[in-house]
Structure 1
Amino acid sequence: MNLFFIILLKVFPIYINVILGFLSSKYLKVQRESVATLLIYILGPIVVFSATLSVKIDFAVAFLPIFLFIFCSIIAFSALAIFKNHWNDPTGNILAFSAGTGNTGYFGIPLAIIFFPPWLADIYIFTVLASLLYESTTGFYVTAKGNFTVKEALKKMSRLPILYAFILGIALNLAGFEIPEVISSYTAQFKGAYGILGMMMLGMGLMGLKNSEGNFDIKFISITYFLKFIFWPLAILGVIYLDRTIFMLLNEDLYKVLFLFAIVPLAGNTVTLAVLLNAKPEKASLAVFLSTVVSVITIPLFIYLYGGF
């Protein structure tokens, strides 16, 4: 069990950012809407663009985000079809969004930096592009569809710069373009800022909870937690088993990347998009926050059971 407590100690400091977010919103009156806008329209595109250019893309590395984007999208559309009529508000749409992703960026990137060597952490960050692409396309669509028509949702989706940053980054990478070292050292700082502000958003989202009714939706929390903490790890372990025994496309290091992708808590952008689209942000904040608290135990436990990174 020593490994478990070592992992726990490594993970715990990340949660300080949640507390800082709550305090900054409560006492400094920092507006979460402004932070959400910064994350989606400025920091996100820069992180996506620079990460796309920093990785040497081969078949195995390229397979990870492609597979995960498809996998995330299938889960989201399936969840939307099953649960969209279970509530009389956009809760079903938020559930569909959260079912297809996790906090792979705000939470997962700091974890990858802690547990992986730099080259593998870069591959993880590249893989996180699957989540960012999902969140700005499929995820944004299933969320916005609760408040907007199909045409309006697609129109809003087309305005998200993360999508274009990803396409541009891939094109330049394949063309052999490299960011100058002076600029890359600058853009690298945005990875940390993205993780810090993303976790702070969880704390900021708690401000409206005590004065709002109906935020603790046991049905919503039960379904999302089952999908995140049971279905996702088991499904990815199944994928790893099939690849290890049949397909043999990946390697042990990439299996670790896949598994870390699967065990993070609910996505912080569940709150971000809920705020921007006014789709039950307080309910989303509570569910994401509680999943983050639960992950204090689940992440070290999952990594321990996996055998450690």
Structure 2
Amino acid sequence: MSLFFIILLKIFPLYINIVLGYVATKFLDVKRESIANVLIYILGPIVVFSATLSVKIDLSILFLPVFLYLFCSIIAFLSLFIWGKSWNDPTGNILAFSAGTGNTGYFGIPLAIIFFPPHLADIYIFTVLASLLYESTSGFYVTAKGNFTVKQSIQKMLRLPILYAFILGIICNLIGVQIPEAISAYTGQFKGAYGILGMMMLGMGLIGLQRGSDLDAKFISITFILKFIFWPLAMLAVIYIDKTYIMFLNEDLYKVLFLFSIVPLAGNTVTLAVLLNAKPQKASFTVILSTIVSILYIPIVLALYGGF
């Protein structure tokens, strides 16, 4: 069996969760707003805190989330500057948010568990903290700015517990605090729950879509070019520069960087859009479409990369 089909078979079960999310909302009356709150205010902080403690931090590993957080933030603010006023609603803010991140958590963590050995999967999860921190700070800000003043946006950002979970996790890691094995096994289950509910959120977003207003060709084309072309090319450029001139990272960390760059649009695009009432249907349609495209896109680019 070719590498393409091996990869395709590995990732296909993840899409079942999208169908389950649609069924839960359509037939069981599960409210996506409630799931969004659970993800941001309960599961997210636990996953962030436990993952921060699970990695032995050195300079090269610490470089990944720091670099990616800065990269995500710069891309988001540049996108807001370029396209922020291209629509007469918060669409430009949602575009800026999605330009700076991808579905590194809900989608990327299950992929890392599938493709990487446990120690490298832990490093990937630690790197995902860059996305979570971005989504909770600068990403949240560029999204909220569409509906709130600067002061209100910052106040809402500072109320997000993920930010404090990350800070607490770093402090505990540096001073040598360790979670007992029994508790660690318990908190480890939240990683799976985070991925499952996050993917289900995408299916929940299908409810209420209106093709006329939610199929925005301009919005979709810009976000797809940024996510599926710009991001992997940018990470390949970083890998080439480091491998040729700097030699600070290693092959395992190159794999983490590349996986980080090829996931579809962020599921939290929908989550934040729901919480902030910033065009959630349009965000859901675009995220779902990018996730469908990824069924073929991810196996293709991984096969071209040579696989993990």
Q: Percent identity?
A: 76
Tell me the TM-score normalized by structure 2. Answer: 0.99
- 2:28 paired residue number: 28
Q: How far, CA to CA, are the matches of 2:136 and 2:246 in structure 1? A: 30
CA deviation map 1:287-308 (0-9, x unaligned)? 0000000000010011100001
CA deviation map 1:55-91 (0-9, x unaligned)? 0000010000000000000000000000011000000
Q: How far, CA to CA, are the matches of 2:127 and 2:248 in structure 1? A: 16
- 1:128 paired residue number: 128
| RMSD of aligned alpha carbons | 0.7
Q: How far, CA to CA, are the matches of 1:29 and 1:213 in structure 2? A: 25
Is 1:101 matched with 2:101? yes
- 1:80 paired residue number: 80
2:278 counterpart SS class: coil
- 2:271 paired residue number: 272
Residue identity matched to 2:292: V
Q: How far, CA to CA, are the matches of 2:90 and 2:120 in structure 1? A: 38
Q: How far, CA to CA, are the matches of 2:3 and 2:299 in structure 1? A: 9
Residue identity matched to 2:28: L
Q: How far, CA to CA, are the matches of 1:303 and 1:3 in structure 2? A: 9
Is 1:288 matched with 2:305? no
- 1:258 paired residue number: 257
Which runs of 5 or more structure 2 residues have no equivalent in the other structure?
A: none
- 2:246 paired residue number: 247
Q: How far, CA to CA, are the matches of 2:56 and 2:213 in structure 1? A: 48
Q: How far, CA to CA, are the matches of 1:71 and 1:246 in structure 2? A: 20
CA deviation map 1:109-153 (0-9, x unaligned)? 000000000000000000000000000001000000000000000
2:214 counterpart SS class: coil
Q: How far, CA to CA, are the matches of 2:126 and 2:298 in structure 1? A: 21
Q: How far, CA to CA, are the matches of 1:86 and 1:149 in structure 2? A: 19
Q: How far, CA to CA, are the matches of 1:154 and 1:127 in structure 2? A: 24
2:92 counterpart SS class: helix
Which runs of 5 or more structure 1 residues have no equivalent in the other structure?
A: none
- 1:71 paired residue number: 71
2:112 counterpart SS class: helix
- 2:230 paired residue number: 231
Using the TM superposition, give the Cα deviation of residue 228 of structure 1 relative to its aligned residue in structure 2, in angstroms. 0.2
1:214 counterpart SS class: helix
Residue identity matched to 1:59: L
Using the TM superposition, give the Cα deviation of residue 213 of structure 1 relative to its aligned residue in structure 2, in angstroms. 3.9
Tell me the TM-score normalized by structure 1. Answer: 0.99
Using the TM superposition, give the Cα deviation of residue 215 of structure 1 relative to its aligned residue in structure 2, in angstroms. 0.3
CA deviation map 1:167-211 (0-9, x unaligned)? 00000000011110010000000000000000000000110104x
Q: How far, CA to CA, are the matches of 1:213 and 1:205 in structure 2? A: 16
Residue identity matched to 1:127: T
Q: How far, CA to CA, are the matches of 2:179 and 2:149 in structure 1? A: 40
Q: How far, CA to CA, are the matches of 2:107 and 2:255 in structure 1? A: 16
